[in-house]
Structure 1
């Protein structure tokens, strides 16, 4: 299972030293180079009673149910488990090209005992409800997304009538989409200082700035973290403020090849969760040069969990003994459940007490 893989932008005047040159960013951009606290975490592997997962990319938990998304599932993309014991219950999101099957699953959301999945290849959001026994998920409805929404690779549920999806046209940062899949509007811009890319290569720029999202309706915070580079964006959708934090690796680096953005810098973040009190992220920090040099010998994933405040201030850096991709944070029990694509037993628990 190894090796497969801003609402407001204000006026100018702040400086950062990226590659040792001062660069001018907008007033809403802040920078960090470290964390006030750093801890090592030792993971406890959770033994599963089934060998289903090829590339466990995402995990979410609600009540006594856990769902693991398999990015490269052979037969199904989603698997339902009992929690906390992780006894296997059933699978969903059957792989195939029939109307009731999925060509891909980019992400899923588990909220109020309802599951939404995203299929980028079909440009569809699908809702699933739990069966009366709670042991399986049943397909309830499918929403086809507007053609103006270019290849949606992530989504967040804003409320009962709206989704938020990244904009990959390069013209804006986010799309607001209604419950029927229609585009309402686009907001924000990519917070880059690469004027050449903004003028000539917006789609490639948007690809390089691919971000993972999470939204917490309890505090109104939407966080976006870049898959390349080290950029964290925090939108407060209650007061319409927007903060951008850039770490020491800077914004995503890429070159344009045949209209596509090809990464040249580092692998950045691979997951984000906004809890009621903080923003938790998985960070890799491995350069593509090193990945190529090692030619498949490096573990796949990130060995860091970066924690930020709801204003994007760096709080804590956790150094892990496993390389992970997806996380679920339970602040009540002070635990983090993570997915490790390098191991046949891919679910790991970390205590942050």
Structure 2
């Protein structure tokens, strides 16, 4: 199994028999495009407003996506369905989709959801399928219109972004590169990047394990051609400007993802890092946890899931603002025009939180 099986509670399973790759790093060992940060120029507290929903019970509302008059909430561990469609901004329930099951029209897992050209795309990692859904004539149902089966050379697709009408971007977990470009036939066309780690032994001898430790969430904005990735462990932001081919890495005070391997299991030794990222037209918004796995283990599940921080970076990855929240959240949808953030709180029976920011 892979690092998506990380605990959201504190425990990782990895491919067996890889050597330990937990070790310290020194800033001087990194290349010139790697920069370090420890604080933000601004820090502000945000108070949330709970949006009451009375029609849906969520088990783990991990993602929220808003576009126009529609909002989708993705339930990572949904009982019957993995995603639910609501009217926005009223949050009136419309319908559910992504039925759980192993038939051809059902899903075994869900990783992310994207709006694109009045359609919805989602990823089923267990079936290795990207699925396009279109709105019904009544505009309140989503129907499966297309399935893209991913090639076997794409190792365990755990997230995706839409690059254009004909291709997707998917993280590469072979360890040989960082990102894959995949066409609408599910075929890998090209790969770029490398894992920005200074752990030379791991890069030479345990790349798949290292790639799993560097499991990242990503987002791409076609208006400015900026793609951002944030690590689920540690505190690393990677920014690709696909227009001018520049690449910058920003590492916070918690450093690279850290884990050790024992009896075929990867045990996190650092922190739970980021859980979501959104590239807007002017900034990069991320959800940051910062909880150590030592504390998670000692508290035996009593700690809330999620992060109390939204870190904001400019499009070059420079720290801009740190928002301190009054809820622990996992997913966000940011609207810079209305200055509003919709977030998901997996710890609450009323999991949708609305924040206003300046």
SS in 1 for 2:296: helix
**Deviation of the 1:27 alpha carbon:** 1.0
SS in 2 for 1:26: coil
Alignment of 1:210-221 (within 5 A): 210-221=215-226
Does 2:280 match 1:303?
no
Does 2:326 match 1:339?
no
SS in 1 for 2:138: coil
Tell me which of 321, 324, 344 is aligned to 1:319. 324
SS in 1 for 2:29: strand
Does 2:250 match 1:245?
yes
Counterparts of 2:262 and 2:78, CA distance in 1: 30
Alignment of 1:79-98 (within 5 A): 79-98=84-103
Partner of 2:19: none
Counterparts of 2:137 and 2:66, CA distance in 1: 18
Tell me which of 292, 295, 301 is aligned to 1:290. 295
Partner of 1:99: 104
TM-score for the superposition, normalised by structure 2: 0.92
SS in 1 for 2:204: helix
Tell me which of 142, 149, 172 is aligned to 2:147. 142
Partner of 1:29: 34
Does 2:234 match 1:232?
no
Counterparts of 2:157 and 2:236, CA distance in 1: 20
**Deviation of the 1:49 alpha carbon:** 2.2
Alignment of 1:145-224 (within 5 A): 145-224=150-229
Tell me which of 352, 355, 358 is aligned to 1:350. 355
SS in 2 for 1:89: strand
Tell me which of 227, 241, 262 is aligned to 2:267. 262
**Deviation of the 1:51 alpha carbon:** 3.0
Partner of 1:281: 286
Counterparts of 1:204 and 1:298, CA distance in 2: 27
Gaps of 5+ in 2: 1-6, 11-22
Question: For the structure 1 residues 162 and 248, does the alpha-carbon distance in structure 2 shift closer, same or farther, using more than 3 Å as the test?
Answer: same
Alignment of 1:36-51 (within 5 A): 36-51=41-56
Counterparts of 2:292 and 2:71, CA distance in 1: 33
**Deviation of the 1:262 alpha carbon:** 3.2
**Deviation of the 1:4 alpha carbon:** 5.2
Are 1:201 and 1:259, in contact at CA under 8 Å, matched by a contact in 2?
Answer: no
Counterparts of 1:196 and 1:229, CA distance in 2: 19
Counterparts of 2:248 and 2:191, CA distance in 1: 18
Are 2:87 and 2:94, in contact at CA under 8 Å, matched by a contact in 1?
Answer: yes
Counterparts of 1:3 and 1:178, CA distance in 2: 31
Are 1:204 and 1:256, in contact at CA under 8 Å, matched by a contact in 2?
Answer: no
Count of aligned residue pairs for this structure pair? 340
Deviation by residue 1:285-306 (Cα, 9 ceiling, x = unmatched): 0000000001111111000000
Are 2:57 and 2:349, in contact at CA under 8 Å, matched by a contact in 1?
Answer: no
SS in 2 for 1:132: coil
Partner of 2:4: none
Question: For the structure 1 residues 284 and 70, does the alpha-carbon distance in structure 2 shift closer, same or farther, using more than 3 Å as the test?
Answer: same
Counterparts of 1:181 and 1:346, CA distance in 2: 34
**Deviation of the 1:185 alpha carbon:** 1.6
**Deviation of the 1:22 alpha carbon:** 4.8
